[in-house]
Structure 1
Amino acid sequence: MPASERAPLPASGAASGLSRRRFLGTVPVAGLGVAVLTSCGDSDDSGAKDGSGRTVVEWWHISTSEPARGLWNARAKAFEAAHPDVRIKVVTLENDAFKSKLTALTSSGKLPDVYHTWGGGVLKQQVDAGLVEDLTDSVSTWIDTLVPASREPYEFDKKTYAVPNDIGAVGFWYNKALFKKAKIASPPTTWVAFLDTVRTLKAAGITPIALGGKEKWPGMYYWAYLAMRLAGVDGMQQAAEAKDFTGDAFVKAGEHLEDLVDLAPFQKGFLGAPYSSPTGQAATMGNGKTAMELMGQWAPREQAAAGKGIGDDLGFFPFPAVEGGKGRGTDVFGGGGGYALRKGAPQEAVDFLKYFVSAESERLLVKGTGIIPVNKDAQDALTDPNLKAVLAMLNKSTGFQLYLDQAYPPAVGQEVNDSVAALIAGSKSPEQVTRSVTQVAKSQ
């Protein structure tokens, strides 16, 4: 779904083993030359009061569609009922409007009390500007109830600046019936086998892959995953720190993606296709017109909303391993969403965060919207087999890479999206992609 709702992030694993995993949820953004914004200086340490003397906590979220919007708002009302001296002022914004308004507020030096964040580069900019509350001490007594992996994109220098509320990852969704029709016994586990699968599907008269090329970010997933498989999670971080993406692994990632593009695997008109619309990627997959799509855990919901959905024919498999790469096939790429507090936000804002990510709330959100919960005690509410498949992949994960257009400063992330889209369209070479991204990174 649009970058707007790519709020779900890496998911949970069992508590055991998480400490052994390496996660790149928070790239050292300073290494990419982030421009530090100017803070307004003085911060108001008390919440505003309404006419009844209640503390007002202004909460900005991006859950604009039902049932999520209704559930989010109901949680605010439930908190008010339990805390009659507090009013939660809910501001619901569509993703692009949210980003625009938040950028304006960031420039002015004043953010909402509680606001949505994807972590990574943008949050780090706000932290460096002194606009974000350090929550380390405030959440210390309950933060361990949340899956460690989900917290990574919001932590810098061992300090916590936001609290996650969902978690997830990207992988391949496939049509079991079309695989069966093409006599493909099982999903591929290596890149070479994946390309063979594409050829087999085409030979059977089946369009292999749905892609929303118009919005660019869906295509970025391929290059990012290939780069991670080739460079490894550590190699991704080293490139970010050095502001240099011209290494051999990144060039080869583009070459592997070119090999896929050369097979003409995508649906007709994919370059102009959006992600969510009756003629977009999700609908193409949801109407059974293609065999696969590379997408996050929201894919089944969007397939059913934009198309018809394919029910029990829908399956899931991890992005294949790439032969000769330093990365492991169990390293995972994805992202999620959480909430940060403005500098000087009232204690009631922290209390609301704790309430919103409690096991009780998370169970309601799981049942109502299908999120993958971050609260360990709410994971028993997850019953959807497709989401369980994503969770199983994450349980086995050995490393995590946040979406590149969120992990990096906005200009760098946008250049990754633009350059990869150009490669898929045939107007940029693998080497040109790496040079363009490097050039923008060094200019920051």
Structure 2
Amino acid sequence: MYQLKISRRRMTGGMLAVGAAAALAACGNRPGASSSAGNGATAWVLTGGPEQTFRDSFERWNTAHSDRQIATEWFANDAYKEKIRTAVGAGNAPTLLYNWAGGTLADYVANNQVIDLTESTTAAQERIVPSLLDPGKVDGKVYALPNNNAQPVMLYYSKPAFEAIGAQPPTTWDELLALVPEFTAAGYIPFAESGSSQWPYLMWIEYLTDRIGGAEPFAKIVAGEQDAWSDPAITGALEKIQELVRAGGFGDSYGSVDADSGADIALIHTGKAAMILQGSWVYANFLTDAPEFMSNGNLGYTDFPSVADGTGDLSNIVGNPANYWSVASNGSQEVQQIAIDYLNEELYNEDYIQALVTGGTIPAALEADDAIAASEHAEYLAYGYDMVKNAANFTQSWDQALPPAAAQELLTNLSQIFLLQLKPEQFVTNMNATL
């Protein structure tokens, strides 16, 4: 819910209820407007997704701390990304710096633009799923803390499509391949895919690489090790992707399908496709776009299949661990301490968790079971929450983990792999040149 392409998944999961959206519209603090604060502590926050969680949290803090207010300013995704880049570079970043961790955070740390939170935020860290802390670390130190919901990638499927051919969801790659001719013969596209958006392609190489070789191959890439893209797990993943393409796994028109408009999930709920590999954010989109399909319990979800002879831990997942708060270094010690105290007091407390669950999203918190159990969407949220809590490793979306230039090269080359315009060895050569 990836860096270079903006879509609904970049809003980190939509509200699942009309009531939640209505409450959001009535909250009064419009995008781009600032609340008052006299001491300079500030936070820039994104609209959309779990926005209400943030609004409620800052309101609680400001109500309880009249002499230590935090001013908030609200932005749409694109506007924020444009403004924050300029503000950080000019030394005018807000005290609480909203970010996606990964390569961008590493740049902030290298330029001394954010402060080390390792020792000062232990209270907040104790409430967070440990694997979700990792993307906020640089050289073993914590520079960013998750601030919203975890977004694992899952394999979603149409129950009616599987009933039509009398099959079960695949648990192995060989089973997955065997389903392709069966669904094609029954008139279904086996997998909905949105090549026009490019970023959904990443989910296939991410999971296949992990299932074949574990999390280590990509960790070496992030570390910038020479020729790290030459790892056999990468080549194996690319070969399997092209194997699936040649088998007809994505149909004939996948290169023109757009995920940002929901065209990929529409293939599922209109009965044209059987499966889709997507992030947890699409569950909310299914509810909005296809309420009848969802009310009939037609959407299934499962883990990504195993790969024969693979060495990756099957509990490993990929996706967007969360979005993150850092504390900017340009502010005074006073405003930095306000931000730190806010994180320790508010982040994933009971009210914070409840707001995320009410919005239909998977909290990045350790103690969310009770809130999820009471939710209208308890079964789905519990499934995703267990995935996150039990993951041996949660690999961040590759285009977020990499520096922007390398991420763009990755999207370009991977698109050519899916369109059979590039051989795996050419992909490897091109990507090694980015290290």
Q: What TM-score do the two structures reach when normalised by structure 1?
A: 0.82
Deviations 1:296-343 (A, max 9, x none): 111210223344463211111111111122323222112221211101
How far apart, in 2, do the equivalents of 1:413 and 1:292 lie? 26
Letter in 1 for 2:45: H
Following superposition, the deviation at residue 96 of structure 1 comes to 2.6
Aligned to 2:356: 366
Following superposition, the deviation at residue 369 of structure 1 comes to 1.6
1:178 maps onto 2:172 in alignment: no
User: 2:395 aligned to 401, 413, 434, which one?
Assistant: 401
SS at match of 1:423: helix
Deviations 1:324-376 (A, max 9, x none): 22323222112221211101541212222234423223333223322211232
1:168 maps onto 2:151 in alignment: yes
Identity of aligned residues (%): 27
How far apart, in 1, do the equivalents of 2:284 and 2:301 lie? 14
Describe the shift of the 1:119–1:309 C-alpha distance in structure 2 as closer, same or farther (beyond 3 A): farther
Check the 8 A contact 2:194/2:257 in 1, yes or no: yes
How far apart, in 2, do the equivalents of 1:297 and 1:126 lie? 28
Describe the shift of the 1:262–1:161 C-alpha distance in structure 2 as closer, same or farther (beyond 3 A): same
User: 1:343 aligned to 329, 335, 339, which one?
Assistant: 329
Check the 8 A contact 1:130/1:343 in 2, yes or no: yes
Aligned to 2:259: 275
1:118 maps onto 2:108 in alignment: no
Describe the shift of the 1:434–1:283 C-alpha distance in structure 2 as closer, same or farther (beyond 3 A): same
SS at match of 1:167: strand
How far apart, in 1, do the equivalents of 2:231 and 2:348 lie? 44
User: 2:303 aligned to 308, 313, 318, which one?
Assistant: 318
Describe the shift of the 1:52–1:294 C-alpha distance in structure 2 as closer, same or farther (beyond 3 A): closer
How far apart, in 2, do the equivalents of 1:239 and 1:150 lie? 20
Aligned to 1:12: none
SS at match of 2:70: strand
How far apart, in 2, do the equivalents of 1:141 and 1:240 lie? 29
Following superposition, the deviation at residue 416 of structure 1 comes to 1.6
How far apart, in 1, do the equivalents of 2:75 and 2:249 lie? 36
SS at match of 1:169: strand
Q: What TM-score do the two structures reach when normalised by structure 2?
A: 0.84
Aligned to 1:223: 205
Deviates more, 1:351-360 or 1:333-342: 351-360
How far apart, in 1, do the equivalents of 2:272 and 2:343 lie? 42
Following superposition, the deviation at residue 183 of structure 1 comes to 0.8
SS at match of 1:64: coil
1:81 maps onto 2:81 in alignment: no
User: 2:169 aligned to 163, 187, 190, which one?
Assistant: 187
Describe the shift of the 1:438–1:194 C-alpha distance in structure 2 as closer, same or farther (beyond 3 A): same
Aligned to 1:62: 46
Letter in 2 for 1:140: T
Check the 8 A contact 1:132/1:341 in 2, yes or no: yes
How far apart, in 2, do the equivalents of 1:90 and 1:142 lie? 21
How far apart, in 1, do the equivalents of 2:115 and 2:11 lie? 21
User: 2:426 aligned to 423, 432, 437, which one?
Assistant: 432
Check the 8 A contact 2:52/2:355 in 1, yes or no: no
Check the 8 A contact 2:158/2:269 in 1, yes or no: no
Check the 8 A contact 2:363/2:385 in 1, yes or no: no
1:295 maps onto 2:285 in alignment: no
Letter in 2 for 1:418: T
Where do 5+ consecutive residues of structure 2 fail to align?
A: 14-33
SS at match of 1:440: coil
Check the 8 A contact 1:212/1:273 in 2, yes or no: yes
Following superposition, the deviation at residue 2 of structure 1 comes to 5.6
Where do 5+ consecutive residues of structure 1 fail to align?
A: 10-49
User: 1:103 aligned to 66, 77, 85, which one?
Assistant: 85
Describe the shift of the 1:141–1:353 C-alpha distance in structure 2 as closer, same or farther (beyond 3 A): closer
**Correspondence 1:379-390 to 2 at 5 A:** 379-383=369-373, 384-390=378-384
**Correspondence 1:185-264 to 2 at 5 A:** 186-241=168-223, 242-244=225-227, 245-264=229-248
SS at match of 1:277: coil
SS at match of 1:180: helix
How far apart, in 1, do the equivalents of 2:357 and 2:174 lie? 38
SS at match of 2:283: helix
Check the 8 A contact 2:255/2:419 in 1, yes or no: yes
Name segments (4+ residues, structure 1) moved above 6 Å.
50-53
Describe the shift of the 1:294–1:309 C-alpha distance in structure 2 as closer, same or farther (beyond 3 A): farther
Describe the shift of the 1:305–1:57 C-alpha distance in structure 2 as closer, same or farther (beyond 3 A): farther
User: 1:423 aligned to 406, 414, 417, which one?
Assistant: 417
Letter in 1 for 2:74: T
Following superposition, the deviation at residue 436 of structure 1 comes to 1.4
Check the 8 A contact 2:211/2:310 in 1, yes or no: yes
Aligned to 2:22: none
Letter in 1 for 2:329: K
Describe the shift of the 1:287–1:98 C-alpha distance in structure 2 as closer, same or farther (beyond 3 A): farther
SS at match of 2:122: coil
Q: CA RMSD in A?
A: 2.4
Check the 8 A contact 1:286/1:309 in 2, yes or no: no
Number of aligned residues: 397
